[in-house]
Amino acid sequence: MSRRGDCWDNAVVESFFATLKKEEVHREDYLTHAQAKASLFYYIEVFYNRKRRHSALGYISPHDYEQALLN
């Protein structure tokens, strides 16, 4: 960890949450906590990790990247 005030410490997490809000949260109207939880779980586990390509991983999904490391 860097000293307090260094903005790059949380850059990856902040980028993820910005993407989550833009692509999922602001497009939905959740009626219940359970509905929001299920929607966010689907977005993260099914779409974001398995289908969405990431530039930091050479434009492949995190799932495909992990599979390539294991093989």
pLDDT in tens, 18-62: 989 998 999 889 999 999 999 999 999 888 878 888 888 889 988
Name the token pair of 38: 């299920």
For residue 59, what are the contacts with CB-CB under 8 A and spacing of at least 6? 53
Residue listed under structure tokens 């949380």? 10
Residue 36 domain flag: yes
Per DSSP (E only), the strands in the chain are: none
Residue 61 domain flag: yes
Tally of CB atoms within 10 A around 48:
20
Residue 3 domain flag: no
Predicted model pTM: 0.64
What's the number of domains the chain is made of?
A: 1
Residue 2 domain flag: no
Domain membership of residue 48 as a residue range: 9-70
